[in-house]
Amino acid sequence: MNKKWLSVVLMIVGALLLVGGLYLILIPASAEGFLSALPFILIGVGCGALGQGIGDRLQQRKIARSPALAKQQANERNDERNIAIANRAKAKAFDLMVYVFGALLLSFAQFGVSTAATISLTAAYLLVIGYRIFVSVQFDREM
């Protein structure tokens, strides 16, 4: 699917979710738990998808009218300094995340948050740390 159709599909899906969410709010229902929050989730996701679709489509139209702008955007996207900045920022954020999540896990354990929540968060934390080691070993072989 090309980018034009992807943005159109995103707009249609977003609009449908938004209308569906609004409809569910308007009709009286006796939903409980997750279902009671469903209309608001639909509205949130719908607005996001619709906004993204409209934004993408407007950008595509602007680029189609100006090849110079398209080339400039491609240069910005492929620019090695921009890529290096993005990678360094991600690496810094990951370093911070390791400490923040570690502290959060300790506080979860300390304040008696449910075992299931603590264990699933620990598993997710270890998965990320394990993936980091796996990728490091892979890069070590490749480079």
Partner 1 sequence: MKNCLETLRKQRGIRQEELADALGISRQTVSSLENGRYNPSILLAFKLSRYFQLPIEEIFFDEEETNRE
The residues of the shown chain that bind partner 1, judged by CB under 8 A, are 71-72, 74-76, 78-82
Whichever of 78 and 114 has its CB closer to partner 1, that residue is 78
Question: What number of other Cβ atoms are within 10 A of residue 32's Cβ?
Answer: 7
Interior angle at CA 80, CA 79 and CA 84, nearest 5? 120
**Would you say 74 or 93 has its CB closer to partner 1?**
74
State the minimum distance, in angstroms, from the CB of residue 82 to partner 1.
6
Q: How far apart are CB 73 and partner 1 at their closest, in Å?
A: 10
Min dist. Cβ of residue 76 to partner 1 (A): 5
The smaller minimum CB distance to partner 1, of residues 32 and 76, is found at 76
Closer residue to partner 1 (CB): 83 or 103? 83
What is d(CA 95, CA 54) in angstroms, rounded to the nearest whole number?
35
Smallest gap, in angstroms, from Cβ of residue 1 to partner 1? 27
